[in-house]
Amino acid sequence: MKNPFLVKHKEKAEFNQYWYSAKTIAFLAEQALASPGEVCFLSCPSVYGSVKGPDRDRCFLFDKVAGNNYFPYDFNRAEDIPVHFKARFSFILIDPPFITREVWQAYARTVRMIGAKDARVLCSTIDENADLLRELLGVERATFRPLIPNLVYQYSFFANFTNEALETVNEEIGF
């Protein structure tokens, strides 16, 4: 499956920027768009850039790259969120460039500011961060894991909700 975003944009290892496979991107877009409200792709340009059609109007990208419905997000300034984004998003997808406690704490502060009441949160990181993410965001590891072809270690998804798709095995990786 060809994904136009993946064809157009190359990964940048110097920024710790690696893309999900086209199948994983499609999976994440489906999860996000199943939410009835507005969606925030927090440091997830590959998924945001793959959403097409009328659903795109309710999606926002918080990242360092520009586009429509874009906010220039810097986790080092996690509190610098305009008031019109406060408590706005019903679904937040998070894929930070780094997996340290300090970075996840910054992202958690942002989520608490921009998440609507009962917002669904889906995160991507290493299994070793499970306790940290449970503490910061109240999320649990999902069965479905992403394929990130050029990353040397395996990531997992963590969510504060569950559904049938999250509890399936990603056939691309077999576990």
Domain positions in the chain are: 16-159
> Parallel, antiparallel, or unpaired for β 156-159 and 115-125?
antiparallel
* Per-residue exposure over 43-79, b if at least 16 CB sit within 10 Å of its own CB, e if not: bbbbbbbbbeeeebebbbbbbeeeeebbbebebeebe
* Spatial separation of the C-alpha atoms in residues 142 and 163, rounded to whole Å: 9
Q: Which CATH number, 1.20.1740.10, 3.40.50.150, 3.40.50.2000, 3.40.50.2300, labels domain 16-159?
A: 3.40.50.150
Q: How high is the pLDDT of residue 68?
A: 72
Instruction: Name the pTM for this structure.
Output: 0.91
Tell me the one-letter amino acid at 122. Answer: L
Q: What is the mean pLDDT of residues 150-155?
A: 84
Residue 12 has which token pair? Answer: 């940048």
Quickly state the pLDDT bin for 14 (edges 50, 70, 90).
low
Q: What is the pLDDT of residues 63-80, one digit of tens each?
A: 987 667 889 999 999 889
Q: Which residue has the higher pLDDT, 6 or 78?
A: 78
